[in-house]
Amino acid sequence: MTTTLPLPAPPAPTDTPDPSAVAAAARDAVKTYGSGDAAVHALDGVSVDFSRGRFTAIMGPSGSGKSTLMQNVAGLDTLTSGSVSIGGVELSSLSDRQLTRLRRDRIGFIFQSFNLVPTLTAKENIELPLDLAGRQPDQAWFDELVSTVDLGSRLGHRPAELSGGQQQRVAVARALVSRPEIVFGDEPTGNLDSRAGGEVLAFLRDAVDRLGQTVVMVTHDPGAASYADRIVFLADGRIVDEMTDPTADRVLDRMKRFGH
């Protein structure tokens, strides 16, 4: 199977900021579980750039390596070989403590299962990453986030008192509150009905368009993927295709052609 590798980005001019700068990248990423005949190549040589200020979806059949790619680019796991970088920082060059700090300060996560702290209010959950980092919230930014996720009247409520869509919007605000370099979502709308999922996706889209946020999202849902600027398709641990400016119909069509 041939692997379609993206062309390297042209060198950035030194005097002007490069809007297409890379927020995160993987180079020749290999992740192998087990050994010998039992070896599973979850990633089999993946090179990909995630551009700053863009929304990228990662798609592919179950077991194709989507979660493994995301976990490794996010520094939650380590590759068998190859490299990943966040904001130009090679993760393998960091000590455990530096990696923990980079994850805390420069990466936001949104999981399928919301992962909110049940005993904290919505407001406290949103502020948690800042509390852990010993940082004060930027009040203007906090207010903008809260009004954008439309949670103003629910801030004093605990997760159990919120709908699934509201809980995930709290999780999205929490992921964005520290203005991370990049936000990773692993099926962030997987537990939501289509209306609530649409609200969360529209918010992520807005964060990219208005705030220049970088988002990388794993999804199997063509409708969710259509919110992205670009889709990277994985199969058997390799990138096999890409699509820019996707629509749900084009994604569905592509999935039908490839039999998944």
Distance from C-alpha of 246 to C-alpha of 229, rounded to nearest angstrom: 7
The residue among 126 and 243 lying less far from ligand ADP, judged by its C-beta, is: 243
Written as one string, the DSSP assignment of 165-211 is HHHHHHHHHHHHTT--SEEEEESTTTTS-HHHHHHHHHHHHHHHHHH
The residue among 47 and 67 lying less far from ligand ADP, judged by its C-beta, is: 67
Q: Is there binding between residue 72 and ligand ADP (CB under 6 A)?
A: no
Q: Is there binding between residue 29 and ligand ADP (CB under 6 A)?
A: no
Q: Is there binding between residue 178 and ligand ADP (CB under 6 A)?
A: no
**Range in contact with ligand ADP (rule: CB under 6 A) among 66-74, 79-87, 97-105, 176-184:** 66-74
Residues 186-215 that bind ligand ADP (CB under 6 A): none
Question: Could you say which of 23, 51, 52, 60 contacts ligand ADP (CB under 6 A)?
Answer: 60
What DSSP state is assigned to residue 245? S
Distance from C-alpha of 58 to C-alpha of 77, rounded to nearest angstrom: 18
- The torsion angle over the Cα atoms of residues 101, 102, 104 and 105, rounded to 10 degrees, is 110
What length is written for the chain? Answer: 260
CA atoms within 13 A on the CB side of 80: 15
Question: Could you say which of 65, 129, 180, 222 contacts ligand ADP (CB under 6 A)?
Answer: 65
Size of the site for ligand ADP (CB under 6 A): 11
Question: Could you say which of 16, 62, 139, 153 contacts ligand ADP (CB under 6 A)?
Answer: 62
The residue among 77 and 124 lying less far from ligand ADP, judged by its C-beta, is: 77
Q: Is there binding between residue 123 and ligand ADP (CB under 6 A)?
A: no
Distance from C-alpha of 69 to C-alpha of 56, rounded to nearest angstrom: 13
Distance from C-alpha of 42 to C-alpha of 257, rounded to nearest angstrom: 23
User: Shortest distance, CB of residue 232 to ligand ADP, whole angstroms?
Assistant: 12
Residue identified by tokens 């409520």 is 157
Q: Which residue in 103, 226, 100, 113 sits closest to 170, CA to CA?
A: 113
What separation in angstroms does the CA of 72 have from each of 24, 77, 81, 84, 131?
Answer: 11, 5, 11, 7, 26
The residue among 62 and 153 lying less far from ligand ADP, judged by its C-beta, is: 62
Question: Could you say which of 32, 47, 67, 112 contacts ligand ADP (CB under 6 A)?
Answer: 67
Q: Is there binding between residue 238 and ligand ADP (CB under 6 A)?
A: no
Q: Is there binding between residue 185 and ligand ADP (CB under 6 A)?
A: no
User: Shortest distance, CB of residue 105 to ligand ADP, whole angstroms?
Assistant: 26
Q: Is there binding between residue 64 and ligand ADP (CB under 6 A)?
A: yes
Question: Could you say which of 6, 45, 63, 164 contacts ligand ADP (CB under 6 A)?
Answer: 63
User: Shortest distance, CB of residue 158 to ligand ADP, whole angstroms?
Assistant: 31
Positive or negative, the CA dihedral 11, 16, 20, 24 is positive
Q: Is there binding between residue 66 and ligand ADP (CB under 6 A)?
A: yes
- Contacts to ligand ADP by CB under 6 A: 33, 40, 42, 60, 62-68
